[in-house]
Structures are given as C-alpha cells and as structure tokens.
Amino acid sequence: MSVNFSLRTGPGSAESAIVFALLVATAATIGCVRDVELASAPTLAHCAGDGETCASDGLCCSGTCAGATCGHSLCQEEGSACQRPEDCCSYLCRQDSSGQLACASDSGCAGEGLLCSRAGACCGLDCDTAGTCGGATCAQRGAICAVASDCCGGRCDAGKCAATGPGCQVAGDSCTHDDECCGGQCDMVAEGTNACRLQDGCRVAGETCSNATDCCTGLCQVSPGGAAYCKVLPGCRIIAERCAAPKDCCSGVCGADRRCQGAGGCFAKDERCQSDDDCCSGTCRTVPEGVLRCADAPGCKAIGAACKKSAECCDATAVCNADSRCSSTSVCRPAERPCSLAADCCSGVCAPSLTGKLACRDACAPTGAPCTASTDCCAGPCAGFPARCLPLPGSSTSSP
C-alpha cells in the first residue's frame, strides 16, 4: 500500500501545504496507510501482572485486584477444587482422576497423597489400590499384577501387566532406547533396568490418561484391552506433541526437548483452537475426531497463515517468510495494536488481549497471562489449554 497526496495550486494552496506537511509527518511516524488505520482502531489492552495497579479483578492476570493492586495471594494449591485457571497457584485447573476440576501441578502429574486412577497419574508412577499416589512403583509389562493400577500401562491381563495399546512404551515401562518411549526418553532407573521417563506437561500420544484434559491432543481413547491412552491427531503434530524435525510440527517449531512449540501469534492450520480469533485463517472448526482445530480459509492466505510463495498472501505487501508464513513488511506495531505474528510487534510479543483477540504487548507477558508461545512469557513456560504463562517450576505457591 502507498500513500498518495495531491496538491492544489492557486487559492487555498497554503492550506494544502499545511495539510500535506501534517500527513507526511503522520505517515513518516507510523509507516504506511495500513498502520495509520491500525493506529486509529480501538486499542486492545492486556491483563496486568502481580504488583501492577488495577481497578477491577477482570483486569488482572490473577483475577484478583485488592487494594488497587493485582495479586495472587488467595490461590489454591495442587489438589484443591477450582473453577478457572486463576483459582490455582499453578494457573492449571483441570479434571482430576475422579473427574472433578482440581488445581494441577505444571508437571502434569499428581503428588503423594492425591487422588489417582492409574500409575501414570502420579509423579512417582505409584498409584495404590486405594486410589492415592504414594504406593509401590508400577510394574512393567510382563510382571505379576492384581489390578490394572498395579501396571505402568494400566492393563492387567490374566495376572500379568500387558501393553496399553499399539505403538510406543508408556512411562515406567521397560525400554532399551529413547525412540521406544512415548515420551521420547529411556532412563536407567537401576543397574540393568531401564524405564521410559514420565515427561512434564500434558501427556503426549501413546501415554496413559484418565480423561481428555490429560492429553495434548484432547483425545483419551480406551484400547481394546481396556486401558486408556492419548490418541494422536492425524496430520502435523500440534503444540506439545513429540517431533523429530520442524517439518513435523504444525507451527514449524520443534524444540530442543523434541516437542512442538508455538511460533508466537496466531495458530497455523491444524493447531488446536477454541475460537476463530486463535487461528491465522480466522477459522476454527470441529474435525472428525471431535476436537477443534484451525482450518484453512478459502482463497488467499491471511497474515500468519502457511504459504509457499508471496503471491498467495492476501496482503499485496506481505511476503512468504523463511518460516513459510505470510508476514507483514510494514513497520513494527506499538503495544495494544492488533497483530498476527510476533514479528508484527516492536516488542516481539503478540499475545491474547483481555478480549481474546491478539494484540502487541509492550513487553513480555507476566505469570498468569494468556500466551501462544513460551517466548511470550517473562519467566515460566506457556502451557495448558487454553495456554497461560506458568510460574517457574517449583515456584507455584501463593504470593502477595
């Protein structure tokens, strides 16, 4: 897009010169017509972090404004009942093994003394017969068992632990190398004994589950043998699922831990979503598996959408960047302006605003703030569904 000015000569030319000077100054400051339009649009504010001033609860990432200051002093610890992420010190509120909403740890597993229905629900892989974490460590495949919770895979068949389902080995089961494990890591747990590690966060495809909220894909399926495991979604791998290379991930980002990560800004095709605003295409729909995923919109590609060449992008000034996404070439945008990608923003942070729409933050997002990638967050990771900037591991306790 370009800015076109025309000047009149003769009477009124002095006024035209003044108008021309003002318009040139405005365009020089903002960059182009599109950004002038953005600057005149309503601003999109973000939630405030702990210690920042506030006028109401809804303006705080913690959901609590006391004495005109945001804080999280009334948050609940792991295992406590909750209704929303803000209720929990960890900012993770999800179904526990009994199906009730409870505050969870950022590790994705339950500590000793908390409810469980399977070994994989416990950080120690040790769900006892009373349904409480803290019993004996689960038995590997082939070992003797009395009930399903005795087994790492959650399946006791004819008195022996059996495979959970098709494919990889679940956490706690025996292994000889990393690629055998659903979580991608085989550790020595004792001399001559290896076991698959229970990875933090949501459970990747193949691991055991109690309900859909345990799984990164949002799909918990019961196998023919009766054990439940997280089911993989077809196509590219969504955020938090395992990957071997960037091309495996819908986002195009495969982290050092070999799990897909968010790229920042709107979600690419096939990522999980909750509303149209989450998706670069502006289209979030239910797929045959029963979960919501971003879908392509017909016609040209919006900013942030996957592309093969620049000519596919709706915006004539956009380019198909090195990450194969349509990217704006205009000057960066200030805080509270709409955005699609992190690169749109001067701060490099494009995150959900109080309305849920993406907008540039003035800096990194504080703990508890909605996010789309860990690079949005000042401290801890971006995790959960919907995702929040979590506290640093081990620091999710109540604070003033």
* Higher pLDDT pick, 373 / 97: 373
Q: How far apart are CA 78 and CA 101, in angstroms?
A: 11
| Radius of gyration for the chain, computed over Cα atoms and rounded to the nearest angstrom | 25
- Provide, rounded to the nearest whole percent, the portion of the chain with pLDDT above 70: 88
The strand pairing partners of 345, in sequence order, are: 333
- pLDDT tens digits, one per residue of 203-247: 999 999 999 999 999 999 998 888 999 999 999 999 999 999 999
- pLDDT tens digits, one per residue of 162-172: 988 768 999 99
pTM higher than the cut 0.75: yes
What integer pLDDT is reported at residue 41 of this predicted model? 56
- pLDDT tens digits, one per residue of 196-211: 999 999 999 999 999 9
Residue 387 contacts by C-beta under 8 Å, 6 or more apart in sequence? 239, 262, 370, 371, 372
Measured in whole angstroms, how far is the alpha carbon of residue 258 from the centre of its chain?
15
Using 50, 70 and 90 to split pLDDT, how confident is the model at 73?
Answer: confident
Over 80: is that where the pLDDT of 250 sits?
A: yes
Using 50, 70 and 90 to split pLDDT, how confident is the model at 323?
Answer: confident
